[in-house]
């Protein structure tokens, strides 16, 4: 395999990923082929295989990119008291979604990419549990319900916002979703 620090390697790797992202926006994952991807990217199959073993590997890399972005947001918005500033989190999350809205909308809202949304949700659930319950002795059933509430409500709110065609402005959505999540959390404190 080539030197991954080489500028040409990085450029080709980015080209493959960008082409793959555009194809996801246009079609279902099951319809994407390596042949079509390499034709659209203007590279040969051998070049593709220098970068990836399969389309699944590209999808996995993309999924990890999204998940790592979410983890970074959660880590940045966590205070010393193991709590999250929900409004800051919602603002950062909306920025993450806006950075590549057509792609994120497709991955989080399309039934054919449900497995990606579920993986993202699992990571958010796990991270919320780590943050909110670190060092606290809380029975598992309540802990599981609270983390499920947080992760499901946050992702479902934003998924619905995307599906609605973003009828509310982003700022209105941040304010609205923050209120819903915070008031739900206030009820159990």
Question: Confidence class of residue 119 from pLDDT cuts 50, 70 and 90?
Answer: confident
Alpha-carbon distance of 97 to 95, in angstroms, equals 5
pLDDT digits (tens, 9 = 90+) for 52-108: 999 999 999 998 888 888 778 777 766 556 566 778 778 877 887 788 888 988 988
Q: What is the pLDDT of residue 83?
A: 63
Q: What is the pLDDT of residue 80?
A: 58
Chain center to CA of 115? 12
Alpha-carbon distance of 31 to 37, in angstroms, equals 11
Cβ distance 162 to 97 under 8 Å?
Answer: yes
What would the mean pLDDT of 110-119 be, rounded to a whole number? 86
Q: What is the pLDDT of residue 60?
A: 92
Q: What is the pLDDT of residue 55?
A: 96
pLDDT digits (tens, 9 = 90+) for 50-66: 999 999 999 999 988 88
Question: Confidence class of residue 178 from pLDDT cuts 50, 70 and 90?
Answer: confident
Largest CA distance in the chain: 58
Average of per-residue pLDDT values in the chain: 84
pLDDT digits (tens, 9 = 90+) for 34-45: 999 999 999 999
Q: What is the pLDDT of residue 147?
A: 79
What would the mean pLDDT of 178-187 be, rounded to a whole number? 75
Q: What is the pLDDT of residue 130?
A: 76
Say yes or no to pLDDT of 141 above 60: yes
| Domains observed in the chain | 7-53 (1.10.10), 56-186 (1.10.357)
Comparing 146 with 164, the larger pLDDT belongs to 164
Say yes or no to pLDDT of 7 above 90: no
Q: At what angle do helices 170-186 and 86-99 cross, to 10 degrees?
A: 140
What would the mean pLDDT of 143-166 be, rounded to a whole number? 83
- Output the CA–CA distances (angstroms, integers) from residue 41 to 18, 29, 65, 123, in the order listed: 9, 17, 21, 32
């Amino acid at each position: 395999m080539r030197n991954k620090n080489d500028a040409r390697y990085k450029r080709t790797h980015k080209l493959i990923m960008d082409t793959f992202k555009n194809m996801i926006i246009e079609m279902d994952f099951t319809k994407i082929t390596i042949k079509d991807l390499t034709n659209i990217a203007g590279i040969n199959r051998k070049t593709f295989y220098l970068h990836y073993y399969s389309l699944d590997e590209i999808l996995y890399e993309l999924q990890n990119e999204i998940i790592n972005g979410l983890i970074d947001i959660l880590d940045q918005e966590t205070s010393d008291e193991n709590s999250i500033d929900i409004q800051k989190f919602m603002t950062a999350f909306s920025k993450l979604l806006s950075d590549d809205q057509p792609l994120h909308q497709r991955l989080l809202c399309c039934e054919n990419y449900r497995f990606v949304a579920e993986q993202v949700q699992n990571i958010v659930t796990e991270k919320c549990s780590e943050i909110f319950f670190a060092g606290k002795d809380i029975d598992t059933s309540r802990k599981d319900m609270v983390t499920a509430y947080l992760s499901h409500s946050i992702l479902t709110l934003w998924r619905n916002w995307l599906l609605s065609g973003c009828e509310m402005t982003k700022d209105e959505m941040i304010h609205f979703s923050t209120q819903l999540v915070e008031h739900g959390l206030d009820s159990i404190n």
